[in-house]
Amino acid sequence: MLTCIRVKTNRAFQHILTFYKRPTKQTPIIKVLDLTYAKGHSWEKTGEEKIDELVSHYYVVKADKNSYDNPDITIIDVRNSLPMFVNESFDVIYYDPPFYFTDGKKDIDYTKLLEKMLTTKDEVFWTINDFKISCKNLEIEVPRILKKGGIFIIKIGDAYTKDEYFPSSFYFWDTFKTSLKIMGHFMIMTEAKDCIFHMVKDNVYHYLVFKKE
């Protein structure tokens, strides 16, 4: 499935989530591991009664030190310690890493950018090496801790390092194409212009959806 739509992040994610994995009588609670680096806007209420009701039945474990406003989310700082989880622990894993690479960008005033973005540096910036280490870790751990029939959702933006284009979304697709089945690719056109447009492929997020068979 390939779809291109223009919608806010929380609506895009929650529609994708509830389409591929929703509560049933046999599984009334869906357990989600959230590997988001930022503050969790993906979980904000959409204003759509049906979607908001469905999402209330997801039990979310956020593997990060940054807390959300949602009190129903359990916070544990284990983003880089996934081996602690036993096999087949989660119905869904959601991964939303930083989009921007700092490689070759020494002249950027990060303080001013972060003030404009209302965020912290580790939520939106990292290096190519950080990206590859994280991807390698996920390649090992996601198929192990995801339940059979479980869904792995990646939100990623293609970026630039120095003056070269880096296809982050394809890198993830290539990493998981043999261990998981690709189920969907959603391209989301953002509603606000990116304030660091020279560091990211402008105004497009990719949601990649994989399934463990």
- Per the structure, the complete domain to which residue 40 belongs is given by 2-211
pLDDT at res. 113: 63
Please report the DSSP string for 56-90 in residue order.
TTEEEEEESSSPPS-TTSEEE--TT-GGGSPTT-E
pLDDT at res. 188: 80
Q: Strand, coil or helix: what is 101?
A: strand
pLDDT at res. 202: 53
pLDDT at res. 142: 92
pTM of the model: 0.83
Structural domains of the chain, count = 1
pLDDT at res. 109: 65
State the Cα torsion 137-157-171-55 to the nearest 10°.
50
The CATH number covering residue 163 comes to 3.40.50.150
Contact 206, 169 (CB under 8 A): yes
Series of mean pLDDT values for 10-residue runs along the chain (213 residues): 68 91 87 79 84 85 56 46 82 87 67 62 76 87 94 86 77 91 85 48 79 96
The one-letter amino acid at 55: V
pLDDT at res. 123: 67
pLDDT at res. 115: 65
Which residues on adjacent β-strands are paired with residue 165?
Answer: 160
pLDDT at res. 69: 46
Q: Are strands 90-95 and 146-156 parallel, antiparallel or unpaired?
A: parallel
pLDDT at res. 101: 79
Displacement of CA 16 from its chain's centroid (Å):
12
